[in-house]
Chains A and B, each alone.
Chain A
């Protein structure tokens, strides 16, 4: 039963991803990406990490994609994407196929996974919090500093363009 639900949700995520790549309307493509994000969050929940699934939905579908869609709307590109030349299209497909072949080869050659049972506390919010505060406090803060720097830089550059 759970397996069928898993595959159904995974299929939705797959459709969303396809829509993101192939739909010519950037707004609809963004919407498809949001659908893929929500489906991915549901996959996390089915894999017994519910809080990660919720964060996936809150942050990616609820905030990041809303901002992306906002930018698409504000720039008025909503009607049609840019014209793409035939060479560009062909080159993109060739690159995609090459990447797919390489990825499949990597998966094929990988050692068969040795599944080990993890205890029920694995992936719980408590465990995540403890790890974050006790082991990964410094890297986490560093990452936030990098993001802050990027944000300040973006604001400065945007101001320069305005003035």
Chain B
């Protein structure tokens, strides 16, 4: 029993802490979205609730909570009620394999700062979970019994399937280079080496574009394109169920940022800094702080792009996916494997 407790207790603490951080992050990213967009458009943005509008997410949460939860008569009810969960849950589960810091040593025992330390196939786990996230959009759109919703679902399905190729192929070079599917090995491979966005620049660009499509963010937010299909797959949703879709989108953004940081921006590494020097506890805490700061930067980047670029047309989206990104990813794979096989690049582990 004690052995089980020794495994479960640290894991439970880590899960609670990470969920708290991610959900708070989701709430404040929604605020940041409105603040940054206001700043970019020379407005003030929300500034009434609390100092500088900082309590706005709380007010929004209350509003969602007290709104009427409407189920349309033509909806297919069991699926309609299930769909929002299918978006939110995968976005949160993916955080179990992302290493967000080095380790904390307490009383002679070291606790690595990620939820599933033994996971040597972390990247595969992440890909498989995120490939299921699309079911939320499909089921939500289909079960609403509304033609705009169905259009949103159709667009979402074809878009995600098309861009998953780009994501997978651009990740492959990183995996071959660092010789492992484990995310902590990929982070370690960038320790004391140039970060992968320098060495895998082409792959990084492909991944960056594809991840915008995967998270349904502008300029690729066709599944919900307001100006064409009302709200897309979540047209009929209201109240807390809509909030779940909404939180799912922002949680997906946080996961995507965490992936970008882990794979291409050195994870919790900083150049010329060795976290072990900062002592058993502060080293871990500081490394986690650096990791979350990098995530915050990419969240800002997501928002920045959204308020800068207009939405693509649907055929343009498909053309970029299949005729630009896919060949580019293939060329990148060929180039990197050539470098590794014939010129001895890469990290041996």
Residues of A within 8 A of B132 (CB): 38, 57, 61-62
Q: Does A34 contact B (CB under 8 A)?
A: yes
Q: Does A96 contact B (CB under 8 A)?
A: no
Q: Does B131 contact A (CB under 8 A)?
A: yes
Chain A 71-115, CB-CB to B under 8 Å as 1, else 0, gives 001100010000000000000000000000000000000000000
| Contacting pair A70 B158 (CB below 8 A) | yes
Roughly how many angstroms separate A121 CA and B335 CA in the complex, as a whole number?
31
Residues of B within 8 A of A69 (CB): 138, 142, 157
A residues 12-56 touching B (CB-CB < 8 Å): 25, 27-28, 31, 34, 38, 41, 50-51, 54-55
Knowing A66-B161, A73-B150, the reply to whether A58 touches B134 (Cβ < 8 A) is: no
Residues of A within 8 A of B124 (CB): 50-51, 54-55, 58
Closest to B147 in A: A76
Q: Does B224 contact A (CB under 8 A)?
A: no
Write the nearest CB–CB distance from B185 to chain A, whole angstroms.
13
| Contacting pair A62 B164 (CB below 8 A) | yes
Roughly how many angstroms separate A61 CA and B150 CA in the complex, as a whole number?
20
Knowing A63-B161, A66-B160, the reply to whether A73 touches B127 (Cβ < 8 A) is: no
Q: Does B135 contact A (CB under 8 A)?
A: yes
Roughly how many angstroms separate A150 CA and B124 CA in the complex, as a whole number?
28
Roughly how many angstroms separate A31 CA and B154 CA in the complex, as a whole number?
15
B residues 121-165 touching A (CB-CB < 8 Å): 121, 124-125, 127-128, 131-132, 134-135, 138-139, 142, 150, 153-154, 157-158, 160-161, 164
Knowing A61-B132, A62-B134, A74-B154, the reply to whether A67 touches B127 (Cβ < 8 A) is: no
B residues 92-146 touching A (CB-CB < 8 Å): 121, 124-125, 127-128, 131-132, 134-135, 138-139, 142
Write the nearest CB–CB distance from A52 to chain B, whole angstroms.
10
Residues of A within 8 A of B158 (CB): 70
Contact of B121 among A54, A63, A74 (CB under 8 A): A54
Q: Indicate the size class of the contact surface on chain A.
A: 20 to 34
Contact of B164 among A28, A51, A63 (CB under 8 A): A63
A contact patch SS: helix
Write the nearest CB–CB distance from B318 to chain A, whole angstroms.
14
Residues of B within 8 A of A51 (CB): 121, 124, 181
Closest to A67 in B: B161
Roughly how many angstroms separate A34 CA and B86 CA in the complex, as a whole number?
13
Roughly how many angstroms separate A57 CA and B127 CA in the complex, as a whole number?
9
Write the nearest CB–CB distance from B94 to chain A, whole angstroms.
13
Residues of B within 8 A of A58 (CB): 124, 127-128, 131
Write the nearest CB–CB distance from A110 to chain B, whole angstroms.
33
Roughly how many angstroms separate A63 CA and B128 CA in the complex, as a whole number?
10
Residues of A within 8 A of B161 (CB): 63, 66-67, 70
Write the nearest CB–CB distance from A2 to chain B, whole angstroms.
13
Residues of A within 8 A of B164 (CB): 62-63
Q: Does B79 contact A (CB under 8 A)?
A: yes
Knowing A51-B124, A63-B161, A66-B161, the reply to whether A57 touches B131 (Cβ < 8 A) is: yes
| Contacting pair B142 A78 (CB below 8 A) | yes
The 10 closest A-B pairs by CB, nearest first: A62-B131, A57-B128, A54-B124, A70-B157, A54-B128, A58-B128, A58-B131, A66-B157, A50-B121, A58-B127
16 A–B pairs (Cβ distance < 8 Å), ordered by A: A28-B76, A31-B79, A50-B124, A54-B125, A58-B128, A58-B131, A62-B131, A63-B131, A63-B161, A66-B160, A70-B157, A73-B142, A73-B153, A73-B154, A73-B157, A78-B142
* Beyond A51-B181, A55-B124, A73-B153, 5 extra complex contacts between A and B, CB < 8 Å: A50-B121, A51-B124, A54-B121, A63-B131, A125-B181
